[in-house]
Amino acid sequence: MPKDDTFQLPDQIDALSFLADLDHGQVVAQLGEQLAKLARAVFETHGEGNLTLVIKIADDGGKAMIKPKSTLKLPTLPMYASLMHFDEKRGLTREDPKQAKLPFKDLPSAPIAPPRRLTNIADARPVAPPVPPPTQPRGDGEE
């Protein structure tokens, strides 16, 4: 495009209309989906993430070549440190090999009765008898 001294770029561009026109609205649609993913991940992890939109504009022989790119960084659940010990085989274990072992015994498991299915509320047995409310003086001297 030949240089024209009368041609002037605007001082301001309507950003919402500009974004809506990019890739026939696909950029805004993708940003909306990514924003929803980001909000959901922040809610679930209580972490922090970000959504970045970069718009590159290059002169292409008198035309503007617009290249949008979005980057989504979702928060992740935190990973915490774990203390482990080296064992005699140079492996890792959660048990301290220098600590004495306590003599625990395996106890036989008692059979568990299946839950009762109640068909009538009158069949239900209370767990404990009801506790009567405490008696308190009325405060006017009469009982």
- 38-72: pLDDT as tens digits: 999 999 999 999 999 999 999 999 899 999 999 99
Distance CA 61, CA 2 (A): 10
pLDDT in tens, 91-110: 898 888 888 888 888 888 88
Do the strands 50-59 and 85-86 form a parallel or antiparallel pair, or are they unpaired? unpaired
Question: Quick check: 5 pLDDT over 90?
Answer: no
pTM: 0.53
**pLDDT, position 2:** 53
Phi, psi of 54 (to 5 degrees): -115, 130
Between the alpha carbon of residue 87 and those of residues 6, 82, 100, 102, the distances in Å are: 81, 16, 14, 18
Give the separation between CA 72 and CA 96, rounded to whole angstroms: 43
CA–CA separation, 104 vs 77, rounded Å? 36
